[in-house]
Amino acid sequence: MKAKNILLKYNLSITTGRLNILEIFLNNEMALSEKDIQDKLIGVCDRATIYRTLKKFKDTGIVHPIATEGMITKYVLKKEPEEHLHFKCTDCGKIMCLPEVQMKNYELPSGFTKKESNFLVIGTCNNCNN
């Protein structure tokens, strides 16, 4: 789907900043931080705009954050199935989704209820394993 259509679908106004940022996500398989995007939009988009856009995209459900042990929040476009594994490569540092891996169900202790999950596998990716 094209960037503009995504914004329309989610009822967000069409601005060049948002189109730029969405375009970057569409052309990138990996999870991206605010900084990653900043580096690709130097002089084009203000930091605050990127921050707020990412926040808006998260709230509307266009992207979702990936849980990592680090201090940086990284985002990826939402994809099917909604629940899927994430993978972090200790070699190249990239974080990506593995939507092809079938998720499994966990029985939580009594009293606990699940809303969502964020599973991260850490290791080396197919690209770094050669």
Partner DNA sequence: ATTATTTTTGCAACAATGTCGCATTTTATA
Partner DNA sequence: TATAAAATGCGACATTGTTGCAAAAATAAT
Using CB under 7 A as the criterion, which residues of the chain lie in contact with DNA when the complex forms?
A: 12-18, 33-35, 44-49, 51-53, 55-56, 71-73
Closer residue to a second copy (CB): 80 or 107 = 107
Closer residue to DNA (CB): 10 or 101 = 10
Strand 63-66 with 32-33, pairing: unpaired
Closer residue to a second copy (CB): 93 or 123 = 123
Which residues lie near a second copy (CB under 8 A)?
65-73, 85, 87, 90, 98, 100-102, 104, 106-127, 129
> Which residues share a beta bridge with 85?
98, 119
DSSP single-letter state for residue 10: T
DSSP single-letter state for residue 109: P
What Rg do the C-alpha atoms of the chain give, in angstroms? 16
DSSP single-letter state for residue 42: T
Residue 47 near which of DNA, a second copy, none (CB within 5-8 Å, type-dependent): DNA
Tokens of 21: 């940022």
CB of 117 to a second copy, least distance (A): 5
